[in-house]
Every structure is written in structure tokens, then in C-alpha cells.
Amino acid sequence: MAKTHAKVIINPAAGANSTYRKWPDLSRLLTSIGLTYDHNYTEGSGHAIELAREAASDGYRYLVAVGGDGTVNEVANGIMNTQNAPEVSFGVVSTGTGSDFARSAGIPMDWENAGSILMSPKRRTIDVGAVTFMKNGQKMERYFVNAAGIGFDASAVEATEKMPKRLGGTIPYMMGLLRTLIGYRNRNVTIDIDGKKESVKVLSIMVGNGNYLGGGMNVAPEALMDDALFDVTIIGDVGKFNLMKSLPMLYNGTIGSHPKVRFERAASISVDLKERILVQADGELLGEGPVSFRIVPAALNIVI
């Protein structure tokens, strides 16, 4: 099968169900630029992982995700769960509400420009993160391409998932964040960063391969996707009122100047605790801690 022949995986529900309406125009664009492809719609959570794994195993060497950050995450997981991952090129057309991976990776955030570059010969090899967590009493592992986190940000993701699907942009995440503020309580944790342990009380710990999460929060402004290191943002024992005042700093990339925030760079991080804490990756709620993160260097070839 020719390397330029692609498998396109579309989440029609992405972007408050707008991707289904955009696909006919996008499919004509892909044909006009000379891309040959087969396509599949996803039918629910986890389906894109299955479709991508089958495609990468069956000889496709070009996979394209059309959808939001969750779709990108699932297609990346499907690719990474095959032996052929180093040979596969990964294209992204972001049609979701957050588009944080596209922001971090330098991929156009509008679907027309993103679709127009899918015949580009340029590739960027990026690192991938792997997170181990607990779900229903079982230890599980999931890959992520952009950012993961535990604590307040994961609880905000949980609240966001309950928001009406018709809402677009960053509105659902902001509403989820405000809802989480009401009852959230900071946690005492033990962090191991590349073998260095400490016990701290935290609001949130965010592990960045890329720069952004939460629909444009620049929580890891110095992160590079190809340096074989995570940029870890540790938000300490910050109160609710202080957090609300600091929200602009989260979006403009200056959160590191806050006295209770610090950055670390590491290839592995683990967090242990006695209380329940939620875990998210690429904006998808995964499960609970204890949790560990490890970097997988130079793991995925993205089209830019």
C-alpha cells in the first residue's frame, strides 16, 4: 500500500457535533490536494483506538485524525499499540472545542488549513507520554501526546464532561472549572521526580509534553515535544480565591511567576497518596491515582 494512501478516522461528534457537518467539505478538500484515502467514523469512546490499531497493523502508513483532542489521543494510542509505530505518519485535522494538541505542535487550528497540509512531506518526530493509573481496581496504562494531569485540572475535566454538548470553544471547560471550584479540596501527595522524593500539598500537577491544556491554558510555556523530557507544573496549596485571581496567568503563560507554582523537567514522575485523586490525559478523564508518568522519546511522526 502506498505510503500516501491514508486511513482517515473521523469523530462526527467532535466540536459539539459539528464535525459531521464539516466532513463533506473536508473530504472534497482532501481529494483536491491529491490525497487518496479510506475513512471510518468512530462510534463511541475507545473506537478510534481500535480503528487506528487495525489500520496501522494492516499496512496503512498514514493515519489522519479528524476530531478533537480526545480523538487525537485515541488515534495516537492505536498507533503506539502496534509494532509499526515508527513507520507511521500521523496527520491531524482539529475540529474539536479545545485544539490544545494542534496549538502545542504547530499544526493549523482551523480545519481548512490543517487539511491543506496533509500532503506535506514535512514530518516532526515527537515524544509521547505514558501514564499508569488505576481504574475499577485495575492498573492501566495510556499514552498521551500533549499533556496530562492530576488533581484540580482532572476534576475540572470530569465536570466539563457533564456540560451540554452543544456548547463550543472554551466555554465548557470554564464552566467545569468554576463548578469544580465549589467543592474541590487540595491533596497531600508524595511526588517522585526522577528519583527525588518530596511530600507536598497541591492543587494540581500537570505533566506537559506540549504547552497547552484546557482549551488554551499555557501551563508549560517552555515545553518542547522533542526533548525527551516532560515539563512538570506543580501548583501548590493555592486557595480558591487566589486561583480565580491567577486564571489569566494560566492562559498567558506567566503562571510560573506565582509564588506557589514551580516548574520541573523530568523523564519520569510518580505521585502517591492516600486520598482519591483523578487523572486526565489530553483532556480525557482516565481514572484515579496513584499515578506514574514516563516519557517515550521520538515515538510519533506528525505531519506539519
pLDDT in tens, 30-46: 999 999 999 999 999 99
Residue that is last in its domain, among 89, 121, 153:
121
CATH of the domain at 88: 3.40.50.10330
67, 181: one domain: no
Q: In this structure, is residue 1 part of a structural domain?
A: no
Q: Estimate to the nearest angstrom the gap between the alpha carbon of 287 and the chain centroid.
A: 15
- Residue 25 grid cell: 467539505
150, 221: one domain: yes
44, 115: one domain: yes
144, 93: one domain: no
Q: In this structure, is residue 280 part of a structural domain?
A: yes
Percentage of residues in the chain having pLDDT higher than 90: 80
184, 102: one domain: no
Q: Which domain holds residue 134?
A: 128-297
pLDDT single digits (tens) 133-181: 999 999 999 999 999 999 988 988 888 777 665 555 566 666 777 777 7
pTM score, whole prediction: 0.92
281, 226: one domain: yes
| One-letter amino acid of 149 | G
Rounded (10°) CA dihedral 194, 83, 299, 291: -40
| One-letter amino acid of 85 | A
**Angle between helix 171-183 and helix 240-252 axes, rounded to 10 deg:** 150
CATH of the domain at 182: 2.60.200.40
Please list, residue by residue across 64-101, b when 16 or more beta carbons sit within 10 angstroms of its beta carbon and e when fewer do: bbbbbbbbbbbbbbbbbebeebeebbbbbbbbbbbbbb
180, 237: one domain: yes
pLDDT single digits (tens) 181-228: 777 899 999 999 999 999 999 999 999 999 999 888 999 999 999 999
Q: How many domains does the chain have?
A: 2
Residue that is last in its domain, among 104, 121, 138:
121
